[in-house]
Structure 1
Amino acid sequence: MKTTLRSHFSHPRHHVTNPQYKRQAMQFIRDQFREYGLETHVDVFPTRLPTVNGVNVIGILKGTNFNTPNDVIVGVAAHYDTMRNTPGVDDNGAAVVAMLQAAKQVASRPHRKSTVMFVAFDFEEWEQVTQVSNVACANLSCGSEHFVHTWVPNFWSSTPKVAGVMVMDTIMNFDEIKQSQKFPAPVQIMSKVGTFNFNIDISYESLRIANS
């Protein structure tokens, strides 16, 4: 995992500052999905710039209930793009590598009822048009928005049931020591009822269900 992180996700992956490295990262994710035996799709979508497209990479492990009323989707996702001048190891290379490892492990167990989907999002990062030039995405999560609102409806004839989705971000920035980290203000409200931990538990449980 360290080798993968250093080789493919340790430099800026941005359409302005390092477009070639970003494209290589996308291709690496695509090729890994294929190597693991996932049905792999590339979701190309337009941005604010006519010469720049975003690329989401989707890997699907179909269960025996795929495309039936009994199918339940479990998702694991992470974005692979970065800001202009950040190396993107923590944000968000570590999460991409973790997602790839999860895909490899789940794919090694061929018999499952539910469908598991792995998605590497492009253009999660955004920029303000008043501060920099050549802005491709001017709002948060352009790639995931396109995936949810355009790719998913085009792939499935009817909206599937979703058991849970684990979206990983900056997972190296973690400390188990009590009171060492704080939730952002909006999340503090949810944490009062245990939503944060509940979502994580549901996601792991969903992966277990998918492999049952």
Structure 2
Amino acid sequence: MTNPLDRVPPHLVISDFLPAADHVALIDWTLANQARFEPSGLGRERALDTGFRNSLSLRGEGPRPWVAPLTATMMPLVPGWCAALGIAPFTLDQLEFDMVAYNDGAFYRRHVDTGVGGGRTPRPGSAAFRMITAVYYFHREPKRFQGGALRLHSLAHDISYGDVPPTQNSLAVFPAWARHEVMPVACPSRDFADSRFAINCWVRRTPPAAVA
């Protein structure tokens, strides 16, 4: 019998996730805001470690007009995602978003989206309250990059994995505890506009009430 820990984590792939007009508008907005992208960091401190994570993330306090429509689209889908992924129902707190660009040589080593344990009670806002990760993929046409698959790893023994390609206008959904990585990207032009773009969304549960 196969050890359940050797199985690829449950996941969903939803094609044609956004209406065509919204998808095109998102690409146009992203390219117009290139100046707001900075090297991606790690953790709350956004520490730079380009040997572990090499990409660009949208930063700054400027507007993000795509957050509201994405939130409205995703919120009603969360109960169905929980059922499909085998996640017990929870009280939804909020959706957290991050836009990322992967250009030539970019990658993200194996990690989980719930942070690392430390024996302490997680504080509100901690990654520990992330329950589901959803990644939306988009790029300019014609596509001018290769690679960049999302690789989902089994929990034990490293004998199994599954690759999800960053297909145009698709959404990959998986448990936030699942170990995963972004495989290296090749983008010969090195033009920002030719990058593999993604919007990471984390569905967060409501933290338990503070104990007096």
Q: TM range, normalised to the smaller chain?
A: under 0.3
User: Quick check: which one's strand share is greater?
Assistant: 2
User: Quick check: which one's helix share is greater?
Assistant: 1
Q: TM-score, normalised by structure 2?
A: 0.28
